[in-house]
Amino acid sequence: MIRPPLILISPSIEKEGVEFGDRSISLSEPYPRAVAGAGGIPLTMPVGRSRELIAECVFRCDGILLTGGDDIDPRLYGNGLPAKLRRTVSTTPDGGERDLRELILIDEIFRQGKPMLAICRGHQLLNAALGGTLIVDIPSQVPGALNHRRMDRRSAMVHEVRLTQRSLLSKIQVSGHWA
């Protein structure tokens, strides 16, 4: 019998939890539902920055999902962000602990060669971890850009994406259909 893949999901951090009124982890239900719907077993990643614990979580899972959430601390991608925009960035309620935990997680994912899917904030943090920069406010920094903040369609396709020819992702796509 084939066992379903165990997928580690990185949660958000909330300023105030329901049970004790202290910081809490938070995971939007569509993430574990999507994993389960695709045949996987969702597992929420614990908090803390212990490299040993994070490494063991990565080791035991078959894939990792980096989720959306709060902004990333601009110091992690420092691309000369103007002070006016820097003030608009709302970092994680835990003072950036999530950023640091997920940077360790990304390092472990690459070290162990595990598959990963990064969504929204997760994709941005992956970009920063690999030395990239971020655009904090698309409308003011890229005039005329497509509106990506479509909360009315957050679970639907908002726009098409073109794949770079001969990229790994374009090789996976087979004649207009995903393999």
**For the whole model, what pTM was predicted?**
0.82
3-state secondary structure at position 174: strand
pLDDT in tens, 127-164: 999 998 888 777 878 888 877 777 787 777 777 878 78
Q: What angle do CA 23, 56, 107 make, to 5 degrees?
A: 80
- pLDDT score, position 33: 96
> How much is the pLDDT for 79?
65
Cα-Cα end-to-end distance for the chain: 23
What is the CA angle 130-72-87, rounded to 5?
130
Any idea which of 3-12, 21-30, 148-157 has the lowest mean pLDDT? 148-157
Does residue 173 have a pLDDT over 70? Answer: no
Local confidence band at 11 (pLDDT 50, 70, 90 cut-offs): very high
